[in-house]
A and B are shown apart, each in its own frame.
Chain A
Amino acid sequence: MNRMRPSVETATIETDAVAVERTLTGDREAYRILVERHSRNVYRLAYRMTGNQHDAEEVVQEAFLRAYQKLSQFAARANFGTWVYRIAANYAIDRMRQRKSEDSRRALPARETEDGAETDLMSTVPDAAPSPERLAQSGQLAAQMRQALRGLTPAERTAFVMRHWGGSGIDEIASALDSSASAAKNTVFRSVQKLRKALEPFVEQRGRARAMGTEQL
C-alpha cells in the first residue's frame, strides 16, 4: 500500500499540460491541482476588475467552472493559466455590466440611456465630490482612484487591468474583449486617458505634498 503523501508533492511537479490531459480523461483530482495553482492569480485580476471581494470570488469560481466545461475545446494546453485568466476577464466584464445596469436601475434611473449604451459613471459623480484639499490625503486618494476605476466602462477597465496590472499583451486583451488588436490598443489608451483626467490633479497634489513633507498618510 502506498503511504506516500500524494497530490501536494505531485501538484508541484505536475505541469499544467499534464493536469489538463488528466482532467480530460475524467480525473477530477488533476483539476483540483489546476484550481489551487491558479486561483490566487485569477482572484487578483477579478478583484481589480470588479473592485469588491464578493464579486471577485464569484468571478473566480465561475471562471474555473467554465474552464472545466470548455476544457476539451482548449487547444494550447500549456497555457492554462492564461486561458482561465481570460475566461475570468470575460466573466468579470459581464458581471460589471450586470452590476452597472442594476445600479443604474436602482439609483440613477433618470440617467439610463435609451439605446442601452454603457453609462460612463465618471459623468455621474455628484457635485458634492470631496474637495482637492481633502483628497490630498492618501486614504482619500485611494478612494478616489477606486471611484475613477469604477467610472471606466467594463471593456476599458478590463483592458486597463490586464495591461497595467496583469502585464497582458495587446493580443491577449483583444481576445478577452473579442475585438481587434487596434481596437484593444485604443481601449487601453482611452482608459489611461480617462484615469489621467480624473486623477492627475490629486496625484500631482500628493506629489507636491510629499516634496514639501506635508503629506498625510
Chain B
Amino acid sequence: MKHPKEEELIAYHDGETAGRNEIATHLADCPECEAELARIDALLAALHTIPVPEPGDDYGQRVWQQISPRLPQRRAHWWDFLFREPNSAPWFAPRRLAAAGAIVALVLAAFIAGRFTGPRDVTPPVATDAAKVRERILLMAVGEHLGRSEMVLMELANSGPLNAGQKEVNISSEQRRAEDLLEENRLYRETALEQGDTALAGVLDELERVLLDVAHSPQQMTPAQLENIRQRIDARGILFKVRVVGKELQQRGESGNTPAEPSGSGKSERNKV
C-alpha cells in the first residue's frame, strides 16, 4: 500500500472504519507514517488541554431563570385535556392509547350512524341541537375546570406544617396543578369573552390571578408565606365565586337550558357573587 494521505490518517485517528485494516498494516511497516500519525495525535491531544471554565453546579437553574420569562405561552389543545393529568404517564402509555382508541371508535360510530339513520331534511333543528350540545359540553368542561381549581385552592387553604417543628411546607404539587389549570383557564376565559359572557370571563380572570400567584410562589413556603397566600385567596373571595359559578354551570349543562342571551340568566346570579 502506498503512503496514506493526511486526510486518511486524520480519519484513522477519528476512528473511521473505511480502509482501517490496510492503514493499520501500513503503519506497522512504515515509521514515517507512524510518526505522522503520532504528530496528529499529539496535536489533537494538546488541543484537548484547553480548559473550559466550569459554569457551576447551579448553571442549569440559572439558565432556566434567564429563559423562562422569555418563553412564549404554549397553548394546549383541547384534546390535551382528555389525555393529560399532572405527573402522568406519556401520551403513548397503554391506557391512554386505549382511551384515544375508544374516542376514535365513538366518533366513527356516530359518523356512520349519522350517515345511515334519521331524516335528512331537518337540518335547522339538527344544527340547533348540535349548537346546544356543544355549549353543554363547554359548560360542563368549564364547570369541571372550576371544580378542579376549587380543589387546589381548598388544599392550599387547609395546608400547613405537619408538626410544630416543620419550618417549611412544600406546595410544589399544588403549584404544578395550578400551572396546568392556568393554561385551561386562559382558553376558557378567552372563549367566554368571545361569546360575550363577561361575567364568567371576569370570574375566570380573577381565578387566573390567584393561580398565577400560586404558580409563581416558592415551592418551599414558611407558614407565614403560606398564610399570606391564603389571605390573598380569601381577600378576593375567589373560592366562593368559583363554587357558585361552577355549580351554576353544572346545572345549566345538565338541564340543557342555555341563557336567551350570551350573558343572560346566569349573569344575574353570578353578579351577586
Contacts and interface: CB of A to CB of B under 8 A. Distances in A.
A181 interface: no
Interface in A160-201: 163-165, 185, 188-189, 192-193, 195-196, 199-200
Interface string B6-21: 1100110010000000
B173 interface: yes
A132 B60 CA distance: 41
Nearest to B46: A203
A134 interface: no
A200 B170 CA distance: 58
A199 B68 contact: no
Interface stretch (A40-48, A98-106, A107-115, A120-128): A40-48
Contact of B63 (A1, A27, A61, A69): A61
A207 interface: yes
Contacts, number: 142
A25 interface: yes
The interface residues of chain A, by DSSP majority, are classed as: helix
Contacts of A3: 162, 169-170, 173
Nearest to B49: A142
Interface in B56-96: 59-61, 63-64, 66-68, 70-76, 80, 83-84, 87, 89-92
A29 B63 contact: no
Given A17-B90, A204-B39, A142 B50 contact: yes
Contact of B60 (A22, A40, A188, A192): A40
A47 B52 contact: yes
A160 to B, nearest CB: 8
Interface size band for A: 35 or more
Contact of B48 (A68, A165, A189, A195): A165
A145 B51 CA distance: 11
Contacts of A57: 55
23 contacts: A1-B174, A3-B162, A3-B173, A4-B170, A17-B90, A26-B74, A26-B80, A26-B180, A27-B176, A27-B179, A28-B71, A35-B63, A35-B64, A69-B72, A142-B49, A145-B46, A164-B44, A192-B44, A193-B10, A195-B43, A199-B47, A200-B39, A203-B43
Interface of B: 6-7, 10-11, 14, 39-40, 42-44, 46-53, 55, 59-61, 63-64, 66-68, 70-76, 80, 83-84, 87, 89-92, 155, 158-159, 162, 169-170, 172-174, 176, 179-180, 183, 219
